[in-house]
Amino acid sequence: MEALKEAIRRHGRHLGNGIIKVDAFLNHQIDPALIAACGQELARRFRHLGPTKVLTAEISGIGPALMTAYALGVPLVFARKHKPLTMGDDVFFAAAPSHTKGGDVTLLVAADYLRAGDRVLIIDDFLATGATILALARLAQAAGAQVIGIGAVIEKRFEGGRDRLRALNVPVESLAVVIGVESEQILLE
Amino acid sequence: MEALKEAIRRHGRHLGNGIIKVDAFLNHQIDPALIAACGQELARRFRHLGPTKVLTAEISGIGPALMTAYALGVPLVFARKHKPLTMGDDVFFAAAPSHTKGGDVTLLVAADYLRAGDRVLIIDDFLATGATILALARLAQAAGAQVIGIGAVIEKRFEGGRDRLRALNVPVESLAVVIGVESEQILLE
């Protein structure tokens, strides 16, 4: 997606250790028209697989996943990292090692919102090591649902997530691919 | 908004202590078409005031605020509750007492994304005690920006937030008003 690549070139910054800052349009401030276009493009790539639900992880996945779900006309479920008061006890959970914080993050989804028979499209802002996306896939599998595809706005190919997702045997799509970083420079495919 | 009221009647549950569960369409699972319609309606009510930015707080505010910003054609900024690695040191922060968790929650916005001259529309999923919204207003004021309006998807009028917002002297709009709760029943205006 050219508009996305242009936004990365213009606003993206490499902070070191492979951490890419795109707070200007995706992770803190959101450019709604750009992220809606990303959602429409992800929807276009997965619509033929008949997804019935989009699944993401709070927080930064919510924007692009909501726009994808809106374009597909299906509900979005965002996995929680902390159990809110409103969440009952019938909950699926999966642990994912946290890239940026260290330690594990636990993702939770109430059993009411993921069902056997659901065809789940996983959407996230980044595909990096793949750990968060694999945890989301385990949540879907715990519910007896089928993962039918994985989409990310930005893939950091140098972190190897795509290889780790291969075992899921579903299509993996990303809208912009970062192939490497050199000091402050972000190298796009 | 009749579709929103219908969703509250059908899916909403009072969990006690005034806590309303709307996880089926707003706070865990999101109904994108309904929340887009909420965003369009909030945009319609505030467009004439010329907002240049929508401001919300993570996590559950992001969906309706993004759809409002999309309808208005302006950026969305979501205040963070934890400082991510990508956030620099030039940050505005404001503390808000947490209704559901006890203690204080700190909201943070990077100075890059709130500027003097911005006309800020604050959008959140709930208007309850008003504490979160008042903290968002302090963030905007710290940046020298002007708050021009406040919109919520659901107002819990019995928690008095609207009265606390009066000092801001801006229009306050909500799309559905809960006037009270009786055991499991949610009473809508």
B144 vs B150: CA distance, rounded Å: 17
This model's pTM is above 0.90 = yes
A-B C-beta contacts closer than 8 Å: 115
* Shortest Cα distance, chain A CAs vs residue B138, angstroms: 18
Domains and CATH numbers, chain A: 36-171 (3.40.50.2020)
Does residue A76 belong to the interface with chain B, where contact is any CB pair within 8 Å?
yes
Q: Do residue B70 and residue A23 have CB atoms under 8 angstroms apart?
A: no
Give per-residue pLDDT as tens, A49-89.
999 999 999 999 999 999 999 999 999 999 999 998 889 99
Residue A100, pLDDT score: 63
Instruction: Give the model's pLDDT for residue B99.
Output: 65
Q: How far is CA A14 from the centre of its chain?
A: 20
Cα B81-B86-B89 angle, rounded to 5 deg: 75
Interval B79-119: pLDDT, tens: 999 998 889 999 999 999 876 667 889 999 999 999 999 99
Distance from the Cα of B103 to chain A's closest Cα (Å) equals 15
Query: Which residue among B28, B63, B110 sits closest to A66, beta carbon to beta carbon?
Result: B63
- Ordered strands of the A119-127 beta sheet: A185-188, A172-182, A146-156, A119-127, A53-57, A76-79, B29-30
Residue B123 and residue B55 in contact, taking contact as beta carbons nearer than 8 Å: yes
pLDDT category of residue A147 using cuts at 50, 70 and 90: very high
From B24, B63, B113, residue closest to A29, measured CB to CB: B113
Q: Is A150 helix (H, G, I), strand (E, B) or coil?
A: strand
**Between A24 and A99, where is the model more confident?**
A24
Both tokens of A162, joined, read 């795509």
Q: Is the Cβ pair B63, A58 closer than 8 Å?
A: no
Q: How many CB atoms lie within 10 A of CB A81?
A: 15
Distance from C-alpha of A125 to C-alpha of B153, rounded to nearest angstrom: 25
- Is the pLDDT at A101 greater than 70? The verdict is no
Q: pLDDT class for A174, splitting at 50, 70, 90?
A: very high
Residue B18: CB atoms within 10 A of its CB come to: 15
Q: CB under 8 Å to B79, separation ≥6 — which residues?
A: B55, B56, B57, B58, B107, B108, B109, B135, B136, B139
